[in-house]
Amino acid sequence: ITQNYFEHANKPGRWLAYKLKKENQKRTIYQLVNKNGVIETDSKKKVIVREYFENLYKQDIVDPNKIEEYLKEGALHPLSENKKEILNKEITLSELKKAIKKQKSNKTPGPDGFPSELYKEIGEVLEN
């Protein structure tokens, strides 16, 4: 918006300054609601933001015994022998090619750090 005004206007004037001021006011956070639902302003805003992110990234300690207990309760349905065989069989070259072909380009790399374009380019090398 500002570049357009500067390029096409004769000179930046009061009107442009007013527009820029209004744009900056839109981005200002004047009040926040704390965890108790109370609206806070000014000095309390920093505290609310800090507490929010502390709670957001806080790691809860999980008892491994509770995990084992949950799994033993039968919350998960056991796999049939047929499904176990399907999941444990070797990945074929055709399945690999199909998966690489389906990958979208220009996306963030996966956990290995390599983008899908790399695998698409070196697909023939993977066969060997």
Which pLDDT score is estimated for 9?
Answer: 59
pLDDT tens string for the chain (128 positions)? 667 766 665 666 777 778 888 887 777 777 788 888 888 777 777 788 888 888 888 888 888 898 888 878 776 777 899 999 999 999 988 898 899 889 999 888 888 888 888 888 887 776 66
The vertex-108 CA angle with 106 and 109, nearest 5°, equals 105
Contacts of 128 (CB under 8 A, 6+ apart): none
| 93 HSE (CA, 13 A, CB side) | 6
Which pLDDT score is estimated for 126?
Answer: 67
Write out the two tokens for 25. 């006011």
- In the three-class reduction of DSSP (H, G, I as helix; E, B as strand; rest coil), residue 62 is classed as coil
Instruction: Provide φ and ψ at 103, rounded to 5°.
Output: -65, 140
- CB–CB of 35/51 below 8 Å? yes
Q: What are the helix (H) ranges across 2-115?
A: 2-8, 14-27, 43-56, 64-72, 81-88, 93-102
Contacts of 123 (CB under 8 A, 6+ apart): 97, 100
